[in-house]
A and B are shown apart, each in its own frame.
Chain A
Amino acid sequence: MNDLICRLHYPLANFDLAAELTVPPGVTVILGPNGTGKSSLLRLLAGLNQPVSGQIMLGERCLYDAEKQIFLPPEQRRIGMVFQDLALFPHLNVSGNIGFGLKMRRTSSGERQKKVQQLLEKLSIKHLAERDVATLSGGERQKVALARTLATDPQLLLLDEPTASLDPSARGEIRRWLQAVLTRLRIPTLLVTHDAEEVAYFRKRVVVMEQGQIIQQGSFHQLLREPASEFVARFVGVNYILGDVREQSGKLAFYSRGGTKFLAPFEQVVPGPAFMTVLPWDIALYRELPDGSPRNNLYGEIHDVVIFGDRVRITLAQEDKLVAEISTRGYLALGEPQPGEKFWAVFKAREARIESYEESPC
């Protein structure tokens, strides 16, 4: 297999980048807040910066090994990288940009033109061939930048926030296009983003980075079910509540920072600092507290109502904050709650997932 396997160490301004990662062929999304070292990781892989220690293997090839003192320069790594600002060559037209890598490899002019034509067709941008890159739209520039990179048959593809610089109207189209192009490639691809929607397009493999560390790897679904940090939870839209697990007369209970008591299955949880996660669609809203089996409930004021198509997201806040996602039908049945009205948020004990915190969060 031509996996990328790397273990890297590199000091950044405020923290150290220390990442260990295996990337199989296909798209892996790297997700993380801004300034967390995602772009630095790509630069280290590309050979634009040199790590202080570690190793990078791409298939059988060793690109970097601190102990063996191997450091392949970027031009020998066969890694394709699309920069956030694309860096198209301003002095060449679209075909010139795409053919650049082949020209540098002294590919004959006929073969080069053939390859450029093939790529233009494959990526459906044939109409741009003779255009000056300065006249292209944001989305077109993105396509040309990827075509330029693919022309050299890279063995690893690095994409740095490919849609961040686009205006929202172009973003959706480029994401669909990227998805179509990237899923056809058979090479390891790392796509850096801090945008939740982008992750939803490439949901199979997600790597979450925070403060230079990889804190979680898994599918988008796993992130949703078991977010490893507040960032992940907020990012995927899961409720994340900090508090403590306390033991009272032999029974465990979770007390939020806001002082509300919650019940949960408490699997492998010990008394002490912990956090609780609840999926927004597992929460129901009521004007009056219903009777019945013991459930978790929180009484609070509606702060925010956002309607997305057939779903409605309602933020309820008092001492603690909970986001509930209900269907539009349910919303209408409740009499279209408005900000300022008071409601009960109710969820079953088994919908709450509680996990101990190793260290007390500050």
Chain B
Amino acid sequence: MKRPRLFNLFLLTCGTALGILILLPVLALLLAASPTGLLKLFTQPQVLQALWITLLSSLLALPMIFLLGLPSAYGLSRCSGRVRRSLEVLLELPMVMPPVVAGLALLLAFGRRGLLGDLLNGVGLRIPFTLGAVVLAIVFVITPFFVRRCVVLFDAIEQKLEEAALLLGATPLQTFWHVTLPVVRRGLFAEGVMALAQGVGLFGVIILFAGNLPGRTQTLSLAIYSAFESDPQQAFSLGALLLLISLLLLATVHLLAPPEGGR
């Protein structure tokens, strides 16, 4: 019985090391930012603007993520075999794309000289370097993650529930709306908050596709980047602020997520 104990010790050591790796920088950041420094942030118009743009862009992206993501996820969870696997690979594409590359790719698709450039110019729409670009970047990066997690939710639904609804005369759309969605509503809410949390932190893709224009496209992440060059202490405070927002969202997810089903 010696080996298992040694093995357990090994597991424990690795786990502890990982725990320290995660917590140490978080702690360092929170220590570097003083409470007064944090409070002072709220007196600076530029910070408030960045905060506003961060929240606004994420909140605007959310309905689009749901609108595109939910039906796609449901459809995907109905698929099986090769079709499903190829669609899943398609979803993984934006996930593995380096954020900077994603920003470039978005520019080349929606930019003035991009693939859709003429079309967008024709209707007088200019996307890059606007709030719209921030939103589009978030939707582009976050939706695949959202869809992946929602597929897991939909897969877990007992198919009999939907069949029972159909046999009671509900159309497939009614079944989706009145049975499928309500059954996973807690999970969906948690996924929505998770998408917000992820969107708030984007950097690479936004700076390339939307630029770093204070008051227009500068989110908190971008503001940290700008501040770090001139005033590191300001960057630390902003970093702590962003971290607190993320922690808050994470806590919300976990308060909502656990008791799926069974009310």
A contacts, CB < 8 Å to B: 46, 48, 73-75, 77-81, 83, 85, 87, 89-91, 100-101, 103-105, 132, 134, 148-149, 151-152
Query: Would you call B168 and A148 a contact (CB within 8 A)?
Result: yes
Give, as a whole number of angstroms, the nearest-CB distance from B102 to chain A. Answer: 38
Q: Which residues of chain A have C-beta atoms less than 8 A from B170's C-beta?
A: 75, 100-101, 104
A87–B160 CB distance below 8 A: yes
A85 to B170, CA, bound (A): 20
Q: Are A105 and B169 in contact (CB under 8 A)?
A: yes
Stretch among B109-117, B171-179, B227-235 lining the A interface: B171-179
Residues of A within 8 A of B71 (CB): none
Docked Cα-Cα span, A148 to B165, in Å, equals 10
By a CB distance below 8 angstroms, the chain B residues around A75 are 166-172
Q: How far is the CA of A305 from the CA of B22 in the complex (A)?
A: 70
Docked-complex contact A85 and B160, CB < 8 angstroms: yes
The reply on B161 being an interface residue by CB < 8 A is yes
A32–B171 Cα distance when bound, in Å, is: 33
Check B75 for interface membership: any CB of A closer than 8 A.
no
Q: Majority SS of interface residues in chain B?
A: helix
Name the distance in Å between A132's Cβ and chain B's nearest Cβ. 7
Q: Are A89 and B169 in contact (CB under 8 A)?
A: no
Interface residue B138 (Cβ < 8 Å from any Cβ of A): no
Chain B residues whose CB sits within 8 angstroms of the CB of A151 once the complex forms: 168
Asked if B164 is at the interface (CB within 8 A of a chain A CB), the reply is yes
- B136 in the interface (beta carbon within 8 A): no
**A229→B40 CA distance, assembly (Å):** 88
Given contacts A87-B160, A89-B179, A91-B182, contact A46 B167 (CB under 8 A): yes
A residues near B158, Cβ cutoff 8 Å:
85, 87
Q: Is B261 within 8 A of A90, CB to CB?
A: yes
Q: Closest approach, in angstroms, between the C-beta of A134 and any C-beta of chain B?
A: 6
A122 CB to closest chain B CB (Å) equals 18
Cα A152 to Cα B182 in complex, Å, equals: 22
Central interface residue in B161, B164, B167, B261, by most chain A CB within 10 Å: B167
A134 to B160, CA, bound (A): 16
Which residue from A48, A90, A91, A104 sits with its C-beta under 8 Å from B168? Answer: A104
Q: B174: nearest residue on chain A (CB-CB)?
A: A104
| A103-B161 Cα distance, complex, nearest whole Å | 16
Contacts of B263 in A (CB 8 A): 90-91, 132, 134
Q: Are A90 and B262 in contact (CB under 8 A)?
A: yes
Report the Cα distance A276→B172, complex, angstroms. 53
For A103, what are the chain B residues with a Cβ–Cβ distance below 8 Å?
A: 178
* Minimum CB–CB distance for B255 against chain A, Å: 19
Q: How many angstroms from the CA of A78 to the CA of B185 in the assembled complex?
A: 29
Q: Is B88 an interface residue (CB 8 A)?
A: no
Cα separation A81 to B169 with both chains bound (whole Å): 11
Cα-based distance from A290 to B158 in the complex (angstroms): 63
The docked-state distance in angstroms from the alpha carbon of A77 to that of B164 is 13
Q: Are A81 and B167 in contact (CB under 8 A)?
A: yes
- Alpha-carbon distance between A90 and B184 when the two chains are bound, in angstroms: 10
Q: Which residues from A are CB-within-8-Å of B165?
A: 89, 100, 104
Does B178 lie within 8 Å of A74, measured CB to CB? Answer: no
The 6 closest A-B pairs by CB, nearest first: A101-B168, A87-B160, A104-B170, A87-B164, A91-B182, A74-B166
A85 to chain B minimum Cβ distance, whole angstroms, is 6
Number of interface residues of B (CB under 8 A): 22
* In contact, A74 and B182 (Cβ under 8 angstroms): no
A208 to B172, CA, bound (A): 34
Q: Are A83 and B166 in contact (CB under 8 A)?
A: no
Contact A149 B168 (CB under 8 A): yes
A80 and B174 contact, Cβ closer than 8 Å, known pairs A87-B158, A89-B161, A90-B262: no
- What 7 new A-B contacts, CB under 8 Å, besides A75-B170, A89-B179, A90-B183? A79-B167, A81-B163, A87-B160, A90-B262, A91-B185, A104-B171, A134-B262
Q: Which B residues are in CB contact (< 8 Å) with A73? A: 166
Interface residues of B in 93-149 (CB under 8 A from A): none
Check if A100 sits within 8 Å of B168, measured CB to CB: yes
In the bound assembly, the distance between CA atoms of A79 and B169 in angstroms comes to: 9
> A91 — which chain B residues lie within 8 A by C-beta?
179, 182-183, 185, 263
What is the bound-complex CA distance between A90 and B187, given in angstroms? 14
Pick the contact of A100: B163, B178, B262 (CB < 8 A). B178
* B180-239 interface (Cβ within 8 A of A): 182-183, 185
Sample (17) of A-B pairs whose CB atoms are under 8 Å apart:
A48-B163, A48-B167, A73-B166, A79-B167, A83-B163, A87-B160, A87-B161, A89-B182, A90-B183, A91-B185, A100-B165, A100-B178, A101-B169, A104-B170, A132-B263, A148-B168, A149-B167
Q: How far is the CA of A48 from the CA of B172 in the complex (A)?
A: 13
Among A80, A100, A134, A148, the most chain B Cβ lie within 10 Å of the Cβ of A100
Closest chain B residue to A85, Cβ basis: B160
User: Are the C-beta atoms of B169 and A104 separated by less than 8 Å?
Assistant: yes
CA distance A148 to B160 in the complex (A): 14
Q: Are B178 and A83 in contact (CB under 8 A)?
A: no
What is the minimal beta-carbon distance from B189 to any residue of chain A, in angstroms?
Answer: 13
- In whole angstroms, what is the CA distance A48 to B160 when docked? 10
A83: chain B residues at CB < 8 Å are 160, 163-164
**Interchain CB contact under 8 A, A80 and B161:** no
Q: In the bound complex, what is the Cα–Cα distance between A78 and B261 (angstroms)? A: 29
Question: Complex formed: what's the CA distance from A46 to B163 in Å?
Answer: 10
A206 to chain B, nearest CB (A): 25
